[in-house]
Structure 1
Amino acid sequence: MITTAKAAELVKKFGGSEKNTGSVEVQVALLTERIKNLTPHFEKNKKDHSGMRGLMKMIGQRRSLLKHLSATDEARYNKLIAELGLRK
């Protein structure tokens, strides 16, 4: 689970200010942090299929946000995936 302090730190880093929570960069960063926190649980609990469905929904949401960002602004997209360490 992501703490409020960690979420605020990510919002400030990727949004520019603590009020800019709706930007695509902030949403992708928060989803990435949640996915990183959940991944060890699913490595340990392979039969948690309902939880895995939620993880797959988060991954799909992040993928669609990244697709939108790459279509609108390629430079911001490249900067974001480099900072988050995502493949592509």
Structure 2
Amino acid sequence: MALLQQRKQEIISGYQTHETDTGSADVQVAMLTERINKLSTHLQANSKDHSSRRGLLQMIGRRKRLLAYILKHNPERYRALITRLGIRG
């Protein structure tokens, strides 16, 4: 469930904090959210794919840790990010 290079560039340019930023926590959360969404649709069609389900849970855990880091260091940025991504209902 890898992302296409063009889609990665769109995500990076949409969430980067400066022009050379490719690995900030915001960008990583946005990339993980995209991968989680793609994998979720895959698992709806392939419910017995347990190895992909495990990978999904690992990605969700990684995103949760990154969001906790952002919340700890900059709560305003955290709120803006979750609103923009449409997570945490």
Q: Aligning the two structures, in what range does the TM-score lie when normalised by the shorter sequence?
A: over 0.9
**CA shift at 1:17, angstroms?**
4.5
Aligned counterpart, 1:78 = 79
1:60 matched to 2:61? The reply is: yes
Q: Which runs of 4+ in 1 moved over 6 A?
A: none
Aligned counterpart, 2:41 = 40
State the alpha-carbon separation in 1 of the partners of residues 81 and 67 from structure 2.
9
**Residue ranges of structure 2 left out of the alignment (5+ in a row):** none
Q: TM-score, with normalisation over the residues of structure 2?
A: 0.91
Number of positions where the alignment pairs a residue of Structure 1 with one of Structure 2: 88
Q: TM-score, with normalisation over the residues of structure 1?
A: 0.92
SS in 2 for 1:2: coil
State the alpha-carbon separation in 2 of the partners of residues 47 and 31 from structure 1.
22
**CA shift at 1:19, angstroms?**
2.6
Could you tell me the percent identity over the aligned residues? Answer: 42
